[in-house]
Structure formats: structure tokens, C-alpha cells
Amino acid sequence: MKMSNTSFAWVLEVRPGYEEEYKKRHEEIWPEMVEMLRESGVKNYSIFRHGLTLFGYFETDDLEKTIACINQSEVNQKWGEYMAPIMKIDVDTRINYPFLLPLQWHME
């Protein structure tokens, strides 16, 4: 699954009524979660919300390495368990990661 681009995005959902809780949990994101993401190669990571829809954007130079590091991380497993009650997460079982959106157009 070698990908030549370095920009990636995903779409997930917040469960109805948990919008403010989702925001609060990310305002208080665990420092060890941020460190793990950095160590896995994630850069320029942003999450936007429109209603219940979450749109995540991140960059990495090696997607396979990044996903492998995240999937093997104990802190990511704990974060996932912490967030599961307030989110609907659709995972691509081929890569054990949220479905990545295909790039349709890019302008520099």
C-alpha cells in the first residue's frame, strides 16, 4: 500500500449529544498521545467538526510506518477505548485504521 503523497484525511462521527465532550477531551488531550503521534511520523494534524461529522487531516512521509506505530501503541489503544463511547468509528480492516479519503484535487 505504498503511497507517494504525504497528505491524508479521514471522516468519522461524534455521537449525538457528545459534541462538547469531544471538544473537551481534545482540549485536554493526553501529552503521551501527542508524543506517540509525533513519534509515529504524524505532522500537521488537524481535526475539524461540521455538525456530527469529523474531518481529520494529517501529513506523514511514510503512511505504512505511521499506521503500524499507531496500531502498536498502548496509549492509542487506551485513547481509543476512552473515545469509543462518544464516537462512531468506521475502520478499514485492511489497515486497521479509519478509511482514508482519496485525494480528488490539490492546489499548491
For residue 77, give Cα distances in angstroms to 17, 36, 54, 97: 24, 11, 20, 12
Catalytic-role residue among 3, 5, 7, 26 = 26
- Annotated active-site residue 50? The verdict is no
Q: CA-to-CA distance for 100 and 52, rounded, in angstroms? A: 18
Q: What is the DSSP letter of 15?
A: P
Alpha carbon 54 to chain centroid, angstroms: 10
Q: What share of the chain is helix, strand, coil (3-state, %, to 5)?
A: 40, 30, 35
Catalytic residues: 26
